[in-house]
Structure 1
Amino acid sequence: MSDFSADFELDGEPEREFHPGVAKRMAHKTVAAGALIRDPDGRFLFVVPNYKPFLDIPGGIVEPGEPPSAACAREVGEEIGLDRPVGRLLLVDWTPGRGPWSDQVQFVFDGGVLEPAAVIRPAADELTGFRWATLEEARADLRASVFRRLSLASTAIATGRLLHAEYGHLLSGA
């Protein structure tokens, strides 16, 4: 994680609440970060979580005080045992809360191309495995919103643009 101590010093003392308790009552969103990792044939690396019925990309929840890029690298290491550099940010997507999950801001980073010799070790406490597939091949095993999100992330790779979406739908003007 980055050391922000110099930035804290430049900003000065933390703000004091004029009305104690206001900050605690404000909404808190979940933030998640994942890596779009590809193989030389252009297929995506999907993980098979043991806690939900759909495929996903390697990644997870950003811890308090942790930058999304650091969380992405940490989660990739924890979930699949790879120490990979986190590439550029491809997409920021907001998803509404549904079921047990709160609404989230999702960051998708470029995980680069993984060489065939790389060893993937799925974390047994979170995953039942992994799968290489194109988006179309994986479509039936992805939530519709995740398919839309990853389609946009793929577009971001191809165009070199950073995209902004809500529930997997590109915002106009983005």
Structure 2
Amino acid sequence: MTFEDDLAAEGEPEAEFHVGIAARQPMKRVAAGALFHDPQGRIVMVEPIYKPTWEIPGGMCEKGEAPRDACRREVAEEIGLATNVGRLLVVDWQPGHGVWGEIVVFVFDGGTLSEQHIDAVELQPDELRGLHRVALTDIRGRVRPSMYRRLSEADRAKRNGETLYLQFGRRA
């Protein structure tokens, strides 16, 4: 069965009983990233040109795109690696902050990148200025506190074979 087959099996979408109600429902942003390690166990981070903090490879889901598919696409776009993203490690809800609305972030296991894979990385030049390999303890100050909590929990989930639900980087 394909996604299209599954969608067709759902049947016709239901009609709105109160016209316009669907348009008034809240919309959440969704993002997905991959937690990669290098052979020494350091986390692979990217340095965006459009903000002061580092990120794991990944990005925003496009309309109609599943988080795992978005993660694969964003990793390929950002660092030029076609990878089979592994299991889900963390789902993290973040509240709105400033001009940015709330978001749900999925973190998948990217596995360990060999030195050959790291040497083959091609950064998306209009988005990224650098690739870094850093120990989790050395990431503080380079990411927002919520991202540090999320990465800490994702790293722990990877080691322990868990999948965690977080709220703003904390276990809920």
Pairwise TM-score range, normalised by the shorter structure: over 0.9
Q: Give deviations 1:77-129, integer Å, cap 9, x for gaps.
A: 00111101110000000011112321100000000000101111111111111
Q: State the alpha-carbon separation in 1 of the partners of residues 18 and 111 from structure 2.
A: 47
Q: State the alpha-carbon separation in 2 of the partners of residues 125 and 102 from structure 1.
A: 24
Structure 2 residues without counterparts, runs of 5 or longer:
none
Q: State the alpha-carbon separation in 1 of the partners of residues 65 and 168 from structure 2.
A: 24
Q: State the alpha-carbon separation in 1 of the partners of residues 32 and 162 from structure 2.
A: 18
Q: 1:108 to 1:37 in 2, by over 3 A?
A: same
Q: What do you get for the CA RMSD once the two structures are aligned?
A: 1.1
Q: Identity of aligned pairs, percent?
A: 49
TM-score (norm: length of structure 2): 0.96
CA shift, 1:7, in A, is 0.8
Q: State the alpha-carbon separation in 1 of the partners of residues 147 and 2 from structure 2.
A: 33
Partner SS, residue 165 of structure 1: strand
Q: 1:125 to 1:3 in 2, by over 3 A?
A: farther
CA shift, 1:3, in A, is 4.0
Residue 39 (structure 2) aligns with: 40
Residue 91 (structure 2) aligns with: 92
Structure 1 residues without counterparts, runs of 5 or longer:
none
Residue 106 (structure 1) aligns with: 105
CA shift, 1:9, in A, is 2.2
User: 1:60-75 maps to which residues of 2 (within 5 A)?
Assistant: 60-75=59-74
CA shift, 1:15, in A, is 1.4
Q: State the alpha-carbon separation in 2 of the partners of residues 122 and 100 from structure 1.
A: 28
TM-score (norm: length of structure 1): 0.95
User: 1:147-162 maps to which residues of 2 (within 5 A)?
Assistant: 147-162=148-163
Q: State the alpha-carbon separation in 2 of the partners of residues 31 and 15 from structure 1.
A: 25
Letter in 2 for 1:106: V
Residue 114 (structure 2) aligns with: 115
Q: State the alpha-carbon separation in 2 of the partners of residues 91 and 126 from structure 1.
A: 25
User: 1:19-38 maps to which residues of 2 (within 5 A)?
Assistant: 19-38=18-37
Q: State the alpha-carbon separation in 2 of the partners of residues 114 and 65 from structure 1.
A: 29
Q: State the alpha-carbon separation in 2 of the partners of residues 141 and 9 from structure 1.
A: 46
Of 146-155 and 131-140, the range deviating more from structure 2: 131-140
Q: State the alpha-carbon separation in 2 of the partners of residues 125 and 99 from structure 1.
A: 25
Q: How many residues align?
A: 170
Q: 1:158 to 1:128 in 2, by over 3 A?
A: same
Q: Is 1:7–2:6 an aligned residue pair?
A: yes
